[in-house]
């Protein structure tokens, strides 16, 4: 039960659609603040995650609460643009009020072997973030091999990432337990070497509570209890929220739940 | 969030349910297709809490004789005359029944032997079923396994099995024997008779002709009576090297064939270019799987000096996350030691290790008070001459040494009278193959460990035994070849 | 009053009618209609090959153990439906339908048992004269098109089908009416969709298509007709299909029909630090 509630506090509720509007974002913010209205002890989620144009609406939507606003930037999801425009996007989103930036690395450059360029881009984005936290999306599905994921993780952390994140959610496969393990091990080794903690966010493909708990077990056994807060671990998911709530309700009442009793934001 | 149990405490208990089937309070011997009461009984207990589970028969010379006679009758009048494809069909039936009742077998295996339910459920029982399935298919195809020769059955096989993989060892013995047209008398280990007896019940349900499989439970004397019985054509034994030598003595001059799966002290060799995190998992699995009660356990670690500190640090950290506890809890990683005797043996060897000057390390996880338990243990500063390095502990105890060059690693790895298994960890393919072909071991794992499959032959060189089980090569032990 | 069965085709795990709308009337010896079987067209064959190709990607990655389990399952399900097949075969004039079904079940069990053994028997580690680890093992050829024996027995179908799929290949088979009923067995035995596709139709019309298709890796022709064999040999040249010609009757059980649809792949790797 405590793991389920912890998982709720680690959610980054996300909407990244071409069809996003101010209204849609506002409704998601309501869900973010009060996941389950009947249960006031169940706190808000960690953050909402939106496109740069929607940041202002999101900031207004969660004002006065602990919910953070994360914006995807740097030509999400492909990253296929020059650095200049991608940095401008970061600055715009931060200017609109984003607390966190989720950037995408240039997978094309990485697969061309231009690691220095990938590193420099991440470092530049970190600088453009100012006070905002930088999550670096590796897009593990496109990197393809575990060796690539490990190397990209090490690169991102060395370049200043506050968080490393598996995927944009726009490409299959997205997050998997295996790829997450590789990234957690990278974080562990980085911490041993430098003493700096880096957060981790698996995104996409975590559709049910049971799977979410398996991720938490993995974090606990690889990195330890220190990482088990939303300061250092997030779930990038949308449908996971209601499954967590349904499982919490089921633990309390002993009955399996129906989706009809939980709000679709 | 500060008082969050998940962050601070352990995991909630996840007990496997045991209420969907029943265990008899007492079992007889299974001889000639009937349940025969023995003149004596003995108790079998749960090593996790010392509670008695059931009473089973203690077979004496008389009952062993009965069983051998039943096996001989079944061989001559039914089994050797049966079309091979039908023999195969019986084995397929047994395989399918075992798959259907898999959960019950897994639970009883953990109760009787002490291994974690995750292992019995995910490894022991599925592999046992797979062994029956695999050998079922060979029954009518044996000529393809022996080019230019006509394979014939041997006759009646006496089989003695150990307590570390009770059901799996029964499958490893019974399946190939029957596939090749033999009949068997099987003696399960003294501390773990139950899953073999459940297997006998299953064999009854499969309608296997009477006497093809006979199960005689008992202790050392029962096994001895079986080995010495003149009506046995062949002995198959898995156990310690010491007992293996006794068996050779007992069978010398008798004309009986034999295969022996004995002890080991496998070297697990980690090179600096190994995938370190994977290697650490492999080391852990190699020595702590089944509490280290594994003949092919990776009980000697050789780590290249340049990465020794890093590997040791990661090893200790990972050991700290292992959960030692109730075998029936699905969270448990390391279960109970199989018996008080085995626990005493481990304790005494560990004491010797400390006295010899090796450095002992154990993590500080809690272990239960009642029952037989031993924490995962590392010994560093080991020397090749230490008894803790030379002798098989058969427990969760790892002896660690460093090395500098591949040549040195090979020399030290091979410097043992054993030769069952070995492991090599390196990202460089050519090095992996160089190392594997230089190790004197029957099974060599490269970048993995403790992998088993019915199609892959298993067995040792030198004092680790004679003969192979599984695979095409494993059939040889159960056939006479007419050239 | 009974409900007569509609026999369609079996493609990609489904039972579609032929896109051509044509039928093959099948009558018993007394002239009574048994079925309007679908008369498959070349387009149906094309769809079937496409399904076989797609499913090959997954099928070739299955473990040998799983394939053995699936073949044994087919035998289990066929055993359960023995009565259905005995009646149907008898209706079509097949002699000794009971022993035909029994023999089919036994042959499925036989090949189930080969799934994880033919590799050990037909592979080799080759002692090359250089410091290399060198091994040869069989790999599946891919998509196989099959013209079954002319017999209406169930055994004639099983004898071509089992060795092909146990060897991790997928197939499209031109066969007889009872093959469509057999498809019901396949569909409920955990055989993935597209691994086996069964068509009924006019042999003369379709033989050429089976032999010419560029995305078929191998063709099995069960025939004693020399001109038919010659035509298939010529048609299969376009993509150098592996051609297997067998006499027009069931064979003795052996692993060689599995090997007929395997390619030998050899791998070298240096040994040395």
CB contact under 8 A, B138 and C117: yes
* Chain B residue numbers touching A9 (CB-CB < 8 A): 1
Which of B6, B277, B313 lies at the smallest CB-CB distance from A2? Answer: B6
CA distance A55 to A53: 6
Q: In what order do the strands lie in the sheet with B26-27?
A: B26-27, B51-58, B40-46
Q: Are B161 and B460 in contact (CB under 8 A)?
A: no
pLDDT in tens for each of the 265 residues of chain A?
899 999 999 999 999 999 999 999 999 999 999 998 888 888 899 999 999 999 999 999 999 999 999 999 999 999 999 999 999 999 999 999 999 999 999 999 999 999 999 999 999 999 999 999 999 999 999 999 999 999 999 999 999 999 999 999 999 999 999 999 999 999 999 999 999 999 999 999 999 999 999 999 999 999 999 999 999 999 998 889 999 999 999 999 999 999 888 887 6
Among B137, B454, B476, which would you mutate to test the C interface (most chain C Cβ atoms within 10 Å of its Cβ)?
A: B137
* Chain C residue numbers touching B430 (CB-CB < 8 A): 269-273
Which of B6, B277, B321 lies at the smallest CB-CB distance from A3? Answer: B6
Q: Name residues of chain C where pLDDT drops below 50.
A: none
- Structural domain contains residue C22: no
Residue B367 has what pLDDT?
87
Taking CA–CA distances from B405, the nearest residue in chain C reads C273
Q: What is the maximum span of chain A, computed from C-alpha positions, in angstroms?
A: 55
Tokens of B290: 């089944």
Q: Give the DSSP per-residue string, B118-165.
A: HHIIIIIHHHHHHHHHHHHHHTTTGGGGSTTSEEEE--EEEEE--SSS
CB contact under 8 A, B130 and C255: no
Q: Give the DSSP per-residue string, B174-189.
A: HHHHHHTT-EEEEE--
Q: Are A104 and A74 in contact (CB under 8 A)?
A: yes
Chain B interface includes A2 (CB < 8 A): yes
Residue for token pair 């798959």? B99
Q: Which domain holds residue A153?
A: 2-261
CA distance C148 to C157: 7
Q: Are C16 and C180 in contact (CB under 8 A)?
A: no
∠ CA C68-C70-C75, rounded to 5°: 95
CA distance A79 to C98: 67
Q: CB atoms < 10 A from the CB of C149, how many?
A: 24
- Structural domain contains residue C255: yes
CB contact under 8 A, C115 and B137: yes
CB contact under 8 A, B7 and A2: yes
Q: Which domain holds residue C167?
A: 42-270
Q: Would residue A102 show up in a list of annotated catalytic residues for this protein?
A: yes
Collect all residues with Cβ–Cβ distance below 8 Å to B232 and sequence separation of at least 6: B68, B156, B157, B158, B185, B226, B256
Q: ipTM beyond 0.90?
A: yes
The strand pair at A163-165 and A133-137 is best described as: parallel
Looking at chain C, which subunits does it touch, using at least 3 CB pairs closer than 8 Å as the criterion?
Answer: B
- Structural domain contains residue C199: yes
Tally the domains of chain A.
1
Which of B4, B277, B321 lies at the smallest CB-CB distance from A2? Answer: B4
Q: Do chains C and A touch (3 or more CB pairs under 8 A)?
A: no
Taking CA–CA distances from B138, the nearest residue in chain C reads C113
The neighbouring-strand residues paired with C246 are: C222
* Chain B residue numbers touching A192 (CB-CB < 8 A): 313
Residue A38 has what pLDDT?
82
CB contact under 8 A, A6 and B4: yes
- Structural domain contains residue C233: yes
Chain B interface includes A5 (CB < 8 A): yes
Among B368, B395, B366, CA closest to B49: B368
Residues in C 172-201 with any Cβ partner in B closer than 8 A: none
Please tell me the pTM assigned to this model. Answer: 0.95
E-strand spans in A132-210?
A: 133-137, 163-165, 199-201
| Residues of B with a known catalytic role | 261, 295
Q: A20-24: long-range contacts (C-beta < 8 A, 24 or more apart)? A: A20/A50, A20/A51, A20/A54, A22/A54, A22/A57
CB contact under 8 A, C117 and B130: no
Residue B1 has what pLDDT?
41
Report the interhelical angle of A115-129 vs A146-158 (nearest 10°): 40
* Chain C residue numbers touching B130 (CB-CB < 8 A): 65
Residue for token pair 């969709």? C193
Q: How far is B166 from chain A (nearest CA, A)?
A: 31
Q: Are A29 and A61 in contact (CB under 8 A)?
A: yes
pLDDT digits (tens, 9 = 90+) for A150-192: 999 999 999 999 999 999 999 999 999 999 999 999 999 999 9
Which of C114, C271, C273 lies at the smallest CB-CB distance from B137? Answer: C114
Q: Are C20 and C46 in contact (CB under 8 A)?
A: no
pLDDT in tens for each of the 483 residues of chain B?
445 788 877 888 999 999 999 999 999 999 999 999 999 999 999 999 999 999 999 999 999 999 999 999 999 999 999 999 999 999 999 999 999 999 999 999 999 999 999 999 999 999 999 999 999 999 999 999 999 999 999 999 999 999 999 999 999 999 999 999 999 999 999 999 999 999 999 999 999 999 999 999 999 999 999 999 999 999 999 999 999 999 999 999 999 999 999 999 999 999 999 999 999 999 999 999 999 999 999 999 999 999 999 999 999 999 999 999 999 999 999 999 999 999 999 999 999 999 999 999 998 888 888 999 999 999 999 999 999 999 999 999 999 999 999 999 999 999 999 999 999 999 999 999 999 999 999 999 999 999 999 999 999 999 999 999 999 999 999 999 998
Tokens of C132: 């290399």
Residue B8 C-beta-side C-alpha neighbours within 13 Å:
6
- Structural domain contains residue C5: no
CB contact under 8 A, B434 and C255: no
Q: Which of A31, A126, A135, A165 is catalytic?
A: A165
CA distance B227 to B225: 6
The strand pair at B421-425 and B267-270 is best described as: parallel
What is the dihedral angle through the alpha carbons of C132, C133, C136, C140, rounded to the nearest 10 degrees? -110
Q: Are C142 and C56 in contact (CB under 8 A)?
A: yes
Write the CATH number for A218.
Answer: 3.20.20.70
Which of B85, B429, B471 lies at the smallest CB-CB distance from C110? Answer: B85
Residue B2 has what pLDDT?
45
Residue B3 has what pLDDT?
55
CA distance A79 to A143: 14
- Structural domain contains residue C113: yes
Q: How far is B454 from chain C (nearest CA, A)?
A: 9
CB contact under 8 A, B137 and C121: no
Write the CATH number for C155.
Answer: 3.40.605.10
Q: Are C73 and C190 in contact (CB under 8 A)?
A: yes
* Chain B residue numbers touching A228 (CB-CB < 8 A): 4, 6-7
Residue for token pair 């004197």? B440
* Chain B residue numbers touching A178 (CB-CB < 8 A): none
Tokens of A92: 């715009």
pLDDT digits (tens, 9 = 90+) for B216-259: 999 999 999 999 999 999 999 999 999 999 999 999 999 999 99
Q: What percent of chain A has pLDDT over 70?
A: 100
Q: How far is C38 from chain B (nearest CA, A)?
A: 37
CB contact under 8 A, B4 and A5: yes
Domains of chain B as residue ranges with CATH: 26-262+462-482 (3.40.605.10), 267-446 (3.40.309.10)
CB contact under 8 A, B137 and C117: yes
- Would you call B483 exposed, middle or buried from its count of C-beta atoms within 10 A (0-12, 13-18, 19+)? exposed
Q: Specify the 3-state DSSP secondary structure of C54.
A: helix
CA distance C160 to C249: 10
- Structural domain contains residue C57: yes
Which of B5, B6, B277 lies at the smallest CB-CB distance from A216? Answer: B6
CA distance A208 to A203: 13
CB contact under 8 A, A220 and B277: no
Tally the domains of chain C.
1
Helix (H) or strand (E) holding B268: strand B267-270
Q: Would residue A20 show up in a list of annotated catalytic residues for this protein?
A: no
Phi and psi, residue B23, nearest 5°: -105, 135
Counting every residue, how long is chain B?
A: 483
């Amino acid at each position: 039960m405590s793991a389920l509630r912890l998982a709720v506090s680690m959610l980054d509720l996300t909407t990244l659609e071409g069809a996003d509007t101010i209204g849609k974002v506002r409704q998601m913010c309501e869900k973010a603040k009060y996941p389950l209205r009947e249960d006031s002890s169940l706190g808000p989620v960690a953050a909402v995650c939106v496109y740069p144009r929607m940041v202002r609406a999101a900031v207004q939507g969660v004002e006065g609460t602990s919910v953070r606003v994360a914006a995807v930037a740097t030509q999400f999801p492909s990253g296929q643009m020059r650095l200049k425009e991608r940095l401008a996007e970061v600055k715009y989103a931060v200017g609109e009020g984003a607390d966190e930036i989720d950037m995408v690395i240039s997978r094309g450059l990485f697969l061309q072997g231009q690691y220095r360029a990938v590193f420099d881009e991440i470092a530049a984005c970190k600088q453009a973030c100012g006070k905002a936290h930088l999550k670096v999306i590796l897009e593990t599905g496109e990197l393809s091999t575990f060796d690539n994921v490990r190397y990209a993780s090490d690169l991102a952390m060395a370049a200043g990432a506050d968080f490393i994140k598996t995927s944009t959610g726009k490409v299959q496969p997205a997050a998997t337990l295996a790829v997450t393990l590789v990234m957690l091990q990278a974080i562990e080794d980085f911490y041993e070497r430098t003493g700096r903690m880096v957060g981790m966010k698996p995104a996409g493909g975590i559709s049910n509570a049971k799977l979410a708990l398996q991720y938490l077990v993995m974090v606990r056994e690889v990195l330890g209890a220190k990482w088990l807060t939303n300061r250092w671990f997030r779930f990038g998911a949308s449908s996971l929220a209601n499954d967590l709530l349904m499982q919490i309700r089921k633990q309390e009442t002993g009955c399996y739940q129906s989706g009809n009793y939980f709000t679709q934001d | 969030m500060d008082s969050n149990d998940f962050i601070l405490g352990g995991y909630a208990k996840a007990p496997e349910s045991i209420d969907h089937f029943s265990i008899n309070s007492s079992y007889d011997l299974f001889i000639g297709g009937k349940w025969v009461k023995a003149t004596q009984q003995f108790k079998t207990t749960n090593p996790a809490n010392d509670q008695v589970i059931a009473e089973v028969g203690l077979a004496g010379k008389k009952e062993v004789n009965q069983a051998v006679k039943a096996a001989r009758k079944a061989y001559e009048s039914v089994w050797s005359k049966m079309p091979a494809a039908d023999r195969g069909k019986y084995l397929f039936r047994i395989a399918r029944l075992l798959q259907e009742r898999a959960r019950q077998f897994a639970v009883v295996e953990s109760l009787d032997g002490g291994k974690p339910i995750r292992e019995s459920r995910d490894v022991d029982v599925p592999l046992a079923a797979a062994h029956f399935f695999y050998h079922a298919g060979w029954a009518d195809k044996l000529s393809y396994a022996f080019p230019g020769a006509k394979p014939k059955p041997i006759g009646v096989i006496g089989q003695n099995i150990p307590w570390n993989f009770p059901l799996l060892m029964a499958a490893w013995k019974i399946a190939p024997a029957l596939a090749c047209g033999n009949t068997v008398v099987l003696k399960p280990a003294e501390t773990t008779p139950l899953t073999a007896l459940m297997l006998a019940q299953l064999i009854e349900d499969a309608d296997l002709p009477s006497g093809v499989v006979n199960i005689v439970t008992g202790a050392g004397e029962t096994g001895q009576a079986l080995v010495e019985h003149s009506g046995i054509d062949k002995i198959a034994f898995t156990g310690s090297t010491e007992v293996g030598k006794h068996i050779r003595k007992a069978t010398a001059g008798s004309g009986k064939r034999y295969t022996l799966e004995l002890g080991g002290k496998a070297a697990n060799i980690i090179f600096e270019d190994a995938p370190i995190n994977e290697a650490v998992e492999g080391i852990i699995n190699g020595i702590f799987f089944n509490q280290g009660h594994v003949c092919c356990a990776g009980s000697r670690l050789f780590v290249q000096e340049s990465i020794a500190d890093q590997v040791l640090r990661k090893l200790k950290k990972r050991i700290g996350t292992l959960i030692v506890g109730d075998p029936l809890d699905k969270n448990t990683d390391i279960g109970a030691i199989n018996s008080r005797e085995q626990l005493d043996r481990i304790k005494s060897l560990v004491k010797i290790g400390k006295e010899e000057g090796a450095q002992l390390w154990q993590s500080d996880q809690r272990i239960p008070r009642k029952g037989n338990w031993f924490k995962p243990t590392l010994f560093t500063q080991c020397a090749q001459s230490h008894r803790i390095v030379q002798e098989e502990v058969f427990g969760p105890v790892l002896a660690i040494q460093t090395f500098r060059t591949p040549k040195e690693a090979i020399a030290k790895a091979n410097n043992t009278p054993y030769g069952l298994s070995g492991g090599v960890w390196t990202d460089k393919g050519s090095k992996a193959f160089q190392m594997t072909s230089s190790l004197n071991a029957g099974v060599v794992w490269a970048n993995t460990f403790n992998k088993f499959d019915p199609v892959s032959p298993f067995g040792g060189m030198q004092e680790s035994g004679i003969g192979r089980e599984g695979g095409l090569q494993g059939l040889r032990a159960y056939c006479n070849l007419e050239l | 009053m009974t409900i007569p069965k509609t026999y369609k085709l079996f493609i990609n795990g489904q039972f579609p009618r032929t896109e051509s709308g044509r039928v093959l009337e099948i009558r018993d010896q007394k002239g009574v209609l048994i079925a309007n079987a679908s008369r498959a067209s070349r387009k149906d064959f094309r769809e079937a090959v496409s399904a076989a190709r797609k499913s090959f990607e997954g099928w070739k990655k299955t473990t040998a153990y799983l394939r053995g389990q699936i073949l044994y399952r087919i035998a289990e399900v066929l055993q359960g439906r023995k009565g259905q097949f005995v009646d149907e075969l008898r209706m079509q004039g097949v002699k000794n339908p009971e022993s035909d079904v029994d023999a089919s079940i036994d042959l499925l069990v036989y090949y189930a048992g080969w799934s994880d053994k033919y590799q050990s028997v037909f592979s080799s580690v080759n002692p090359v004269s250089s410091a290399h680890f060198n091994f040869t093992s069989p790999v599946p050829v891919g998509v196989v098109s099959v013209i079954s024996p002319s017999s209406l027995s169930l055994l004639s179908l099983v004898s071509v089908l089992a060795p092909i799929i146990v060897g991790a290949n997928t197939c499209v088979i031109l066969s007889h009416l009872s093959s469509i009923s057999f498809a019901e067995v396949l569909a409920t035995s955990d055989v993935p969709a597209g691994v086996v596709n069964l068509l009924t139709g006019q042999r003369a019309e379709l033989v050429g298509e089976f032999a010419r298709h560029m995305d078929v890796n191998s063709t099995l022709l069960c025939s004693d007709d020399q001109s038919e064999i010659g035509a298939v040999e010529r048609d299969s040249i376009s993509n150098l299909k592996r051609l297997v010609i067998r006499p027009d009757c069931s064979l003795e059980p052996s692993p060689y029909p599995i090997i007929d649809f395997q390619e030998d792949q050899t791998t070298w790797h240096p040994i040395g630090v």
